[in-house]
A and B are shown apart, each in its own frame.
Chain A
Amino acid sequence: MSAVATTPLVALDGASRSFGAVHALRGASLALRAGEVRALMGENGAGKSTLVKILTGVDRPNSGTVLVDGEPVVFHSTADSRDAGVAVILQEPTLFPDLSVAENVVMGRHPRRSFGRIDRPAMKKSVQDLLDRLGVDLDPDRPVQGLSIADQQIVEIAKAMSFDARVLIMDEPTAALSGREVERLFGVVRALQARGAAVLFISHRLEEVYEIATVVTVMRDGEVVHDGPLSELPEDELVRRMVGRDVNQLFPKTEAEIGDVVLDVRGLSREGVFYDVDLQVKAGEIVALAGLVGAGRSEVVQAIFGVDQATEGSVSMNGTDLPLGKPTAAVAAGMALVPEDRRQQGLVMDMSIGQNATLARLGEMRSRGLLSPKRERAEASQWGERLQLKYGRLSDPVGTLSGGNQQKVVLAKWLSTKPRLLIIDEPTRGIDVGTKAEVHRIINDLASEGLAVLMVSSELPEVLGMADRVLVVFEGRVTAELSRAEADEERVVRAATGRAPVTEEIA
């Protein structure tokens, strides 16, 4: 065991990678040893993705080498890295929705019997064995379509195990999982670790990292700035290494004057997703919807906004009932939704910054009946300035911006409609720590100007730091409503996991 532990299964030695003038990776080294769970930490753009791409054979370094069992190799494709025992679990599982769980696992390596036919019983049995070993209850014959993200990740892990992966790279695997699902995933990771696999674990959630990882590599600006046991690195020190400076006062809460009720939701339900949601948001107030991912919070706000059809209940803005399932009517009534998935829902990536920023109010971009590019530019640059958007030209595709700046474009798009209510779903997901604070400041400023804000967030500090009121959602129902004074970590977590406030203590 100890002899094996000294030679890393897979390592990266002094790898550099540049794209044109941008150095994504500068002389990065990293070793993955058997039985280790290594956390890879760093802000967005620190070079983590590039490093993962190189380890998985998607990309190749300009200089430096990949080592497998101490021998230098070149991964020309994902097949090469897979053959070397490297498997990757992405945040969004990449499976074949029409095929069964079993076929998804064995695809590309079907067991054969006579005449080269697929050996279905053997296929089913081997996959059932894998799932049993992972301790999960999944039917191998079931189509993947309709499985939860968490179950799909289990299928991915089973796939990795099926070709005896020794190195498992998990790129933000928990981003879309609920607490229980994270626990199950961690159970699987520990089992793999015990069997001598090396795991590279990437997550933005510090708590998870401290729970699962043993060693840590911290990256900043394409360089490895720290490598060592996690136990020797306290949390604030870790954050400082990631950011390169002290991060304090992340949530500069300013007291706003709370006004009249702007949004009034009563008995809103969507069959099979969420039930009987009542909530009010007043002018100047920030209300947070807390809870586990998958509890139905995004679904609730999407139904309020009308992009999803609610089956029951009512939504009213400023005392006027809105038709359900009509986003256009919601926008007209002064509602705005900054969605969770920026690339798919928030922005039209092929369009320019300016066109995206004005997309929600095309009607007002007219002069004499026709779209006026001049007015669009003026409007977009005005909001760009207000939000301190960093961009080259307004006519550049919005995809050229960083995540944080993209989020600002989405904000600009909606703030320019002069909304009375801003719904913002995971306001800082995938945004680096520096810009995060800026987004928080913007939201606070807006609230103090009298905007009603309904925020969905999975980050407890964000919820506790920003909200005037916290509604906790569990399994599609609101299980607690806490004032700013009442809200603390324990109460929110209890409600979010469906436990009664004080009773039912588990010894």
Chain B
Amino acid sequence: MSTVATTPTGSAPDRTPGVVRTEDSLLKKVLGRWETLILVLIAVVFAIGSGISSEFLTGESLTTGSSDFTEYAILALPLTLIIATGEIDLSVASVLALSSALMGYLWNQGLPMEAILPICIVAGAVCGLINGWLVTGLGLPSLAVTIGTMALFRGLAFVILGDESVTDFPTDYTDWAFGNFGGTVVPNTIVLFLVLAAIFAVVLHRTPFGRSIFAIGANKEAARFSGLRVNRTQLKLFVLSGAIAALAGILLTLRNSTAAGNVGTGFELTAIAAVVLGGVSIFGGSGTIGGVILALILLGGIQKALNLDPDISTYWVNIVFGILLIGSVLGPNLAARFREARRTRNRGARPFRPGRPAAAPSGPEGEGNTDA
């Protein structure tokens, strides 16, 4: 399902009916997987990283590097599901901020944390419900809707808390968010992420709900004609995205022991970058949670490595992320086009026997999106 060829390519290959596909060997299958490529990149980054600084591959580095990436990682999980249905949610970072601001406001009002946390999660879910209703109920494009709610929710965060920040959260909560799991080097927040990731992976890949997500992303109409609950599924995903974004807001607030309306600006972009880099098609219909997790590790590793080198400007992170994001879609596209060009050149010859190239007058360029 997630070979390089079928994952993020922008255009459907022109299939020739009746052509028997050659059996791929297992080795070829593994090498051809998008995840394998990301793994190789991770290895490269980690090799370079440990070359840059001896601190890179230490437990301390792992702890700080991974906990710095907690919120991106958590936001990426529901986003993966939403993008797999062919929609997008740009408002997640604003929901995160709204959750943080709400947390600070309620704490100032003297509510106990036990009450604040569920209220924040519910508030996030309501934000998601608004997105979901606008998209499924009114049938508006999610890109436009969430550009709007991105401003709306961020604005509400400022309305709630203004430009002040709240810092006096109880230490037993902040300590947990700072702390590591048991005696290990793994932060508690990352353990929480891993648990969530496992749940998301099972839901997406091994349940009817997950299968219907892919079906909706690949062909919404056919999904509806198959009796799948398209609108309800998408609504659920937006609500889930809101609730999880609120959870990320809580974690960020506790980790920094600061609640403010301006936190998490631009987080949605890193999360989307991770999802796309992880091999989820931006048009929906394919992708894996595993790929997204690998992409998160890759991005986190790059950020940490660049941070450790005093000579490299930290702003290279932006440039590298941007190039990776584009490259993750461009690369497979170009590879597919290269294969296509080679096939065109060999056209007319039987498979397994190249023979002389057919004297075809200039093969068709580009994606002949033709179904006559």
Cβ of A250 within 8 Å of any chain B Cβ, yes or no, is no
Residue in B closest to A359 when the chains form the complex, CB atoms: B226
**Is B99 on the interface with A (CB-CB < 8 A)?**
no
The reply to whether the CB of B236 lies closer than 8 angstroms to some CB of chain A is: no
Whole-angstrom distance between the Cβ of B367 and the nearest chain A Cβ:
12
For A23-63 the 0/1 string (1 means CB < 8 A from B) is: 00000000000000000000001000100110010111011
**A362: which B residues are within 8 A, CB to CB?**
208, 211-212, 228
Q: Are B219 and A90 in contact (CB under 8 A)?
A: no
Residue A337 contacts which of B15, B225, B361 (CB distance < 8 angstroms)? B225
Residue B253 CB within 8 A of the other chain: no
B179-232 at interface with A (beta carbon < 8 Å): 202, 205-208, 210-212, 214-215, 218-219, 221-229
A211 nearest CB across to chain B (Å): 24
Cα distance, A349 to B286, chains bound together (Å): 12
Also in contact, A350 and B286, with CB within 8 A (given A18-B348, A345-B225, A365-B208): yes
Contact B211 A399 (CB under 8 A): no
Residue of B nearest to A51 (CB): B372
Tell whether A345 pairs with B221 under 8 Å between CB atoms, given A45-B17, A399-B15. Answer: yes
Closest A residue to B285 by beta carbon equals: A350
Given contacts A20-B16, A363-B208, A400-B17, contact A328 B351 (CB under 8 A): no
**CA gap between A366 and B209 in the complex, in Å:** 11
Note all chain B residues with C-beta closer than 8 A to A20: 16, 19, 347, 351
A60 touches B16 (CB 8 A): no
Q: How many Å lie between the Cα of A233 and that of B164 in the bound state?
A: 88
Q: Is the CB of A307 within 8 A of B18?
A: no
Residues of B within 8 A of A369 (CB): 207
Docked-complex contact B20 and A62, CB < 8 angstroms? no
Q: Do residues B347 and A330 form an inter-chain contact, with CB atoms below 8 A?
A: no
Closest beta carbon of chain B to A160's beta carbon, Å: 15
- Asked if A328 contacts B15 (CB within 8 A), the reply is no
Q: How far is the CB of B50 from chain A (nearest CB, A)?
A: 39
B364 within 8 A of A: yes
- Tell me if A193 is interfacial: C-beta within 8 Å of chain B: no
Given A60-B360, A396-B21, A399-B15, A330–B227 Cβ distance below 8 Å? yes
Q: Let me know if A294 is at the binding interface, CB within 8 A.
A: no
Interface residues in B, total, Cβ within 8 A: 46
Interface residue? A297 (CB, 8 A): no
CA gap between A74 and B364 in the complex, in Å: 12
Mask: chain B, 142-167; 1 = CB below 8 Å from A; 0 = not: 00000000000000000000000000
State which residues 362-417 of A face B: CB under 8 Å.
Answer: 362-363, 365-366, 369-371, 392, 396-397, 399-402, 413
Known contacts A49-B372, A307-B224; is A349 also within 8 Å of B219 by CB? yes
Report Cα–Cα, A413/B17, bound state, in Å.
Answer: 21
Q: Per a CB cutoff under 8 Å, which of B16, B211, B227, B360 touches A328?
A: B227
Please judge, given known A-B contacts A370-B202, A401-B17, whether A359 and B372 are in contact too, CB under 8 Å.
no
Q: Is the CB of B221 within 8 A of A19?
A: no
Q: Is A485 an interface residue (CB 8 A)?
A: no
Residue of B nearest to A74 (CB): B361
Tell whether B368 is near chain A: CB-to-CB under 8 Å: yes
Q: What is the minimal beta-carbon distance from A180 to any residue of chain B, in angstroms?
A: 27
Report the separation of the CA atoms of residues A17 and B75 in the bound assembly, to the nearest whole angstrom.
51
Q: With A58-B370, A399-B15 given, is the CB distance from A348 to B223 under 8 Å? A: yes
Report whether over half of chain A's contact residues are helix, strand or loop; otherwise say mixed. mixed
Chain A residues, CB < 8 A from B12: 349-350
Q: Does B41 sit within 8 A of A, measured CB to CB?
A: no
Say yes or no: is A346 at the interface (Cβ < 8 Å to chain B): yes
Contact bitstring B262-290, A, C-beta under 8 A = 1, else 0: 00000000000000000000000110000
Task: Give the complex CA separation of A344 and B223 in angstroms.
Answer: 10
Partner of B225, one of A49, A346, A351: A346
In this assembly, does A256 line the interface, its C-beta being within 8 Å of a C-beta of chain B? no
User: Do the beta carbons of A344 and B202 come within 8 Å of each other?
Assistant: no
Give A62 to B347 CA distance when docked, in angstroms.
8
| Chain A residues whose CB sits within 8 angstroms of the CB of B202 once the complex forms | 370
Near B by CB (< 8 A), chain A positions 338-361 give 339, 344-351, 355, 359-360
Name the interface residues of A230-262: CB closer than 8 Å to any CB of B: none
Interface band, chain A: 35 or more
B58 within 8 Å of A (CB atoms): no
Contact A59 B364 (CB under 8 A): yes
Task: Please tell me if the beta carbons of B229 and A328 are within 8 angstroms of each other in the complex.
Answer: yes
Q: Are A370 and B227 in contact (CB under 8 A)?
A: no
Contact status A22-B228, CB under 8 Å: no
A62 lies within 8 A of B17 (CB): no
Interface residue B6 (Cβ < 8 Å from any Cβ of A): yes
Residue contact B364 to A360, C-beta cutoff 8 Å: no
Determine whether the beta carbon of B372 is less than 8 Å from that of A350: no
Q: Is the CB–CB distance between A62 and B358 below 8 Å?
A: yes
- Could you tell me the distance between the alpha carbons of A331 and B370 in the complex, rounded to whole angstroms? 35
A462 within 8 A of B: no
Q: A76 on the interface (CB 8 Å rule)? A: yes
Query: Which parts of A117-132 form the interface with B (CB within 8 Å)?
Result: none
A360 to B212, CA, bound (A): 10
B215 proximity list for chain A (CB < 8 A):
348, 351, 355, 359
Is B350 positioned at the interface, with any CB of A under 8 Å from its CB? yes
Residues of A with C-beta under 8 A to B370: 53, 58-59
Indicate the member of B210, B212, B215, B285 with the most A CB atoms within 10 Å. Answer: B215
Q: Is the CB of A88 within 8 A of B372?
A: yes
Whether A327 contacts B227 by the Cβ 8 Å rule is yes
Cα A363 to Cα B228 with chains together (Å):
11
A21 within 8 A of B: yes
Among A22, A59, A344, which residue has its beta carbon within 8 angstroms of that of B222? A344
Given the complex, which residues of B lie within 8 Å of A365, measured CB to CB?
208
Q: Are B219 and A344 in contact (CB under 8 A)?
A: yes
Smallest beta-carbon distance B231→chain A, Å: 11
Q: Which residues of the other chain, B, contact A90 by a CB distance below 8 angstroms?
A: 372
Residues of B near A63 (CB, < 8 A) are 359
Cα A20 to Cα B17 with chains together (Å): 11
Q: Is B54's CB within 8 Å of the partner chain A?
A: no
Q: Is residue B313 contacting chain A, with contact meaning CB distance below 8 A?
A: no
Bound CA–CA A370/B18 (angstroms): 34
A327 touches B224 (CB 8 A): yes
Q: Does B362 contact A (CB under 8 A)?
A: yes
Measured between beta carbons, the chain A residues less than 8 angstroms from B222 are 344-348
Whether A351 lies near B214 (C-beta < 8 A) is: yes
A171 interfacial by beta-carbon distance below 8 Å: yes
Would you give the shortest CB distance from B343 to chain A, in whole angstroms?
8
A to B CB contacts below 8 Å, 27 in the list: A21-B351, A22-B18, A59-B364, A59-B370, A62-B347, A62-B348, A62-B360, A90-B372, A307-B225, A328-B228, A344-B221, A345-B225, A346-B225, A348-B222, A349-B12, A349-B218, A349-B219, A351-B214, A355-B211, A360-B227, A362-B208, A362-B228, A392-B20, A399-B17, A400-B17, A402-B17, A402-B18
With A62-B360, A351-B214, A392-B20 given, name 11 new contacts (CB 8 A).
Answer: A59-B364, A74-B362, A339-B225, A350-B218, A350-B285, A355-B215, A359-B215, A362-B228, A371-B208, A400-B17, A400-B19
